[in-house]
Structure 1
């Protein structure tokens, strides 16, 4: 997907138009992965069953709530860079690296899917660093660092549930 330029006055924030477009494309991919992860986590929260129901139901709620709040942060950074944020399922499906889970997996399989989705989102965030560093874009680098910390920690916590 090519980033669509907003119809706003030109920006002069010290990042070239071409670098902003590259950063926005990466952030749009991160937003799509983040939304896909949010949706998967919320779905699993609703549908988890079994002996670990209470702990997983609560854990998933904490995770989808955090993820929901992150969507706004990522989208607002895209807007600050002068572009519209993608906001449709169609756009997210084109951009995301996360595969949709069909049906209702068992609890342990839900956790495995979430580990993979957290790790995929972390990889997407990490892949944007070279572009952001080359453009000297500290706010986006800070956002990416914060997202990476959360995704890596959450993946570790989920993996720990599987370590029996």
Structure 2
């Protein structure tokens, strides 16, 4: 059933399509954070194992929230690995070494990349597509990613 929420169907479709890419990015970053949690080694193992668990737990909730936002707009959320890999702008491959610093650098780069994309869409959703709800929603996502990126960045100083 179509969502009759005061936004034209073509505009809802455009927002939902954009959110599909955001969902794919979130899912890939979630998976990479899980990888870090599972594969961390070294003298800081326990500390970083718990740290990465906190990160992926937050991303799991973000992923669910994005999918539910897409459904709120009357569209279906992608939900297969194939779809996510086709929609994401992130690489599922790590660029750094398999150590705490390697994982942190890689995850930080992905958070920062997502932050740039979110910022690029805030005004477009609100002004061009008349969807202030989605604009506000991704502003909230941006704030969550800013904090998660700060937590990662703090390990690098």
Tell me, yes or no, whether TM beats 0.5. yes
Query: Is the CA contact (8 Å cut-off) linking 1:23 and 1:128 kept in structure 2?
Result: no
- Tell me the equivalent position of 1:25: 17
Offset at 1:104? 6.5
- Tell me the equivalent position of 1:153: 147
Unaligned runs of 5+ in 1: 1-7
Distance 1:150 1:45 in 2: 20
Distance 1:11 1:101 in 2: 37
1:124 and 2:117 matched: yes
Aligned counterparts, 1:100-119, within 5 A: 100-101=92-93, 105-119=98-112
4+ residue segments displaced more than 4 Å: none
Distance 1:30 1:156 in 2: 20
Aligned counterparts, 1:6-155, within 5 A: 8=1, 10-101=2-93, 105-134=98-127, 135-155=129-149
Query: Is the CA contact (8 Å cut-off) linking 2:111 and 2:149 kept in structure 1?
Result: yes
Unaligned runs of 5+ in 2: none
Offset at 1:85? 0.3
Distance 1:65 1:11 in 2: 30
Give the CA RMSD over aligned residues. 1.6
Offset at 1:130? 2.6
- Between Structure 1 and Structure 2, which shows a larger proportion of helix residues? 2
TM-score (norm 2): 0.92
Q: Aligned with 2:91: secondary structure?
A: coil
Distance 2:78 2:61 in 1: 16
Deviates more, 1:35-44 or 1:20-29: 20-29
Query: Is the CA contact (8 Å cut-off) linking 1:19 and 1:131 kept in structure 2?
Result: no
